[in-house]
Amino acid sequence: MSTKEHYRNCKNCKKRNNIFALLNDDELALVDQHRYELTFNKGEIIFKQGSPLTHIACITDGLAKIYIEGLNKRNLILSFAKPVQMIGGPGMFVDYRHHFTVAAIEETTACLIDTKIVEELIERNPAFACDLLKKTNQISIANFKKFINLTQKQMHGRIADALIFLHDEIYGRNPFLLTLSRQDLADLTAMSKENVIRVIKTFKDQGLMKVEGNVVEILNMKELTRIGETG
């Protein structure tokens, strides 16, 4: 992990979340004075579940996974963070602990902002507070949908959903270079790694997708979507 303190000015940063457009110059200067920019290598922990919540993170480069550490070292990936997403935590205003772990999937750069400054901005800027609440609610809704999919869909439906999600929301191209490991796919779909490999082989044999090394190409999006919808 390397440190790049105050590498960008918040006011002129082109990789900031749109929520910061709601701040005036003085408020942006306040954020700029209480932030640190760090670069994390692949696999490094950005936030650790159970640790004190002292900062939020704004991803400016790379890709990170957000996951719950369960029993017997079984993890569940809730979502991913890419530029220009902001990662806070349900522990704010509650117990000030991280309730999930955030780790870099590839080299990832993030601005860490002191939670005390975020709380101050919430108190003095209603528009900022409302937008932050909106983003928090959107995350909750996405998690509700994810839990329904994981509990009510069979393995083929889960993998189909995951592939479509990665294509549409994370990589945005076809084919795409998969930076997730097979274990990450297992943690994303609440399956074993062996079952993930088995289902992917089935999809390949059926001509739905092609995999060459870490490059994935979806060949039949219509059928993959049907499988995802029917579970």
CATH of the domain at 212: 1.10.10.10
pLDDT at 4: 46
Query: 121 and 74 share a domain?
Result: yes
Q: Taking the complete model, does pTM exceed 0.85, yes or no? A: yes
What are the beta bridge partners of residue 81?
64
Write out the residue range of the structural domain in which residue 22 sits. Answer: 2-150
Q: Which residue has the tokens 């117990």?
A: 95
Query: 32 and 145 share a domain?
Result: yes
Query: 98 and 206 share a domain?
Result: no
Q: Which of 159, 187, 180, 158 is nearest to 69 (CA)?
A: 187
Query: 141 and 188 share a domain?
Result: no
pLDDT at 186: 97
pLDDT at 11: 78
Query: 34 and 139 share a domain?
Result: yes
CATH number at residue 56: 2.60.120.10
Question: Helices marked H in the chain — which ranges?
Answer: 25-33, 115-124, 126-152, 155-165, 182-189, 193-205, 221-230
pLDDT per residue rounded down to tens, the chain (231 residues): 554 444 567 878 878 888 999 999 999 999 999 999 999 999 999 999 999 999 999 999 999 999 999 998 899 999 999 999 999 889 999 999 999 999 999 999 999 999 999 999 999 999 999 999 999 999 999 999 999 999 999 999 999 999 999 999 999 999 999 999 999 999 999 999 999 999 999 999 999 999 999 999 999 999 999 999 987
What are the beta bridge partners of residue 66?
79, 102
From CA 176, how far away is CA 161, in angstroms rounded? 16
